[in-house]
Copies of this chain bind each other. A is one copy, B any other.
Amino acid sequence: MRVRRKYKKKQKVKNTSINQIPGQVTYVGNKVTENPTVEIINFDKEKVNRENSNQVADAFHYKNKDSITWININGLNHTNEIEELGKHYNLHPLIIEDIVNTQQRPKFDDFDDYIFVVVKMLYHDAQNEFISEHLSIVAGEGFVLTFQEADGDVFDGVRERINNAKGRMRNSGSDYLMYALIDAIVDNYFIVIENLSDKIESLEDTLFTQAVEDDMTHEIQDLKREVLRIRKAIYPLREVINRLENSEHQLIDEKTHNYLRDLQDHITQISENIEIYREMIWGLMDMYMTTISNKMNEVMKVLTIMASIFIPLTFMAGIYGMNFEYIPELQFKYGYFYLWGAMLIVFFLMIWYFRRKKWL
């Protein structure tokens, strides 16, 4: 039951955004941090600078330098900081709105000076809870801005590669960094759907081997909901990557296009897997139904066998419990034992009959 409750809490869309003025920046998610975390990584071929701060302003001095600056902000509820950064990098108001609107589906927009991408970061946190986090990426000449709901992400591999002076990362532009970030997110989708696959198999095994308890339908329904949510996060991404790949924005290098094609391939692969898991889950309900029916069959068989054997025998005993004045068998010396014989014959006939029917 615990799992289901969790989902419930999340699914509820906080409609604080309703009836608000379009373009107005209001955070609608439910992760709230006290202070924004601003992670600033500036690098070029020669060196890497790394800073952690609570103020976006600390990152401003890197602007217009020849190096690449990655500014990663955790905490979408700090809309002021985000607006300040937006103003500094000249971002369109609707983009700021999309950054803090956690219900925004994955999208791609290209502007003259930068590219804007919204994706959903799916991962399981330390408590193995399924997390779908809203993540926005703005990539322009010499800078990449990322906006996350809260601390904790899947970018550790990217950070490492930035440190590695010989890797492609240090020798490429901000478009490659943007690609690497999306790639890290998509790679993580593989883990998420693998987790899904594990859950399906575990449920199948439970259905097959263990006692089936009442709340099985809920677990299956929850699994359905999870696969639908994953699908909802991933499907629009196909179009996003596709448009990114086909975009002729001057920021995206020809080589990066090759990598984006590769990414497109991965997304397609994930989508196909999701469809397969979806069919498997829908099949689980059928499996469960047949399991229940099989169980009922078993219950019925026990009842039928017990009743079919003892009801005739009880009848036979009842016959000779009657008080008629003249029941000849009662006077037989071995009448009682003859009757036992007859009862045993009936008993074994029944047993034989049920065995032949493979009920025993």
Residues of A within 8 A of B (CB): 8, 11-13, 15, 17-23, 92, 94, 97, 103-105, 107, 154, 156-157, 161, 167-168, 179-180, 183-184, 187-188, 190-191, 194, 197, 201, 204, 207-208, 211, 214-218, 221, 224-225, 228-229, 232, 236, 258-259, 262, 265, 268-269, 272-273, 276, 279-280, 283, 285-297, 299-304, 306-308, 310-315, 317-336, 339, 358-359
Contacts and interface: CB of A to CB of B under 8 A. Distances in A.
9 closest residue pairs by CB, A with B: A317-B318, A19-B157, A320-B322, A303-B304, A321-B321, A324-B336, A306-B308, A310-B311, A217-B287
Contact of A307 (B217, B268, B279, B311): B311
A280 B21 contact: no
Contacts of A8: 201
Given A11-B197, A294-B292, A303-B303, A286 B217 contact: yes
Given A18-B191, A295-B297, 20 more contacts: A11-B197, A11-B201, A18-B190, A22-B168, A105-B265, A208-B214, A221-B283, A289-B290, A290-B292, A296-B296, A296-B300, A297-B299, A302-B304, A303-B303, A303-B307, A304-B306, A306-B307, A306-B308, A306-B312, A314-B318
Nearest to A23: B168
A157 B208 CA distance: 43
Contact of A232 (B157, B228, B272, B295): B272
Contact of A323 (B19, B272, B327): B327
B300 A303 contact: yes
A19 B187 contact: yes
Contacts of A236: 268
Contacts of A358: 211
A15 B194 CA distance: 9
Nearest to A215: B208
Given A18-B188, A326-B333, A103 B299 contact: no
B294 A214 contact: yes
B304 A228 contact: no
Contacts of A184: 19
30 contacts: A11-B201, A15-B191, A19-B156, A19-B184, A19-B187, A103-B269, A105-B272, A208-B215, A214-B294, A216-B290, A221-B287, A224-B280, A228-B279, A236-B268, A285-B290, A288-B290, A289-B290, A289-B293, A293-B296, A296-B300, A300-B304, A306-B307, A306-B308, A314-B315, A320-B324, A321-B323, A324-B332, A324-B335, A325-B331, A328-B336
Contact of A280 (B104, B215, B225): B225
Contacts of A325: 330-333, 335
A262 B326 CA distance: 92
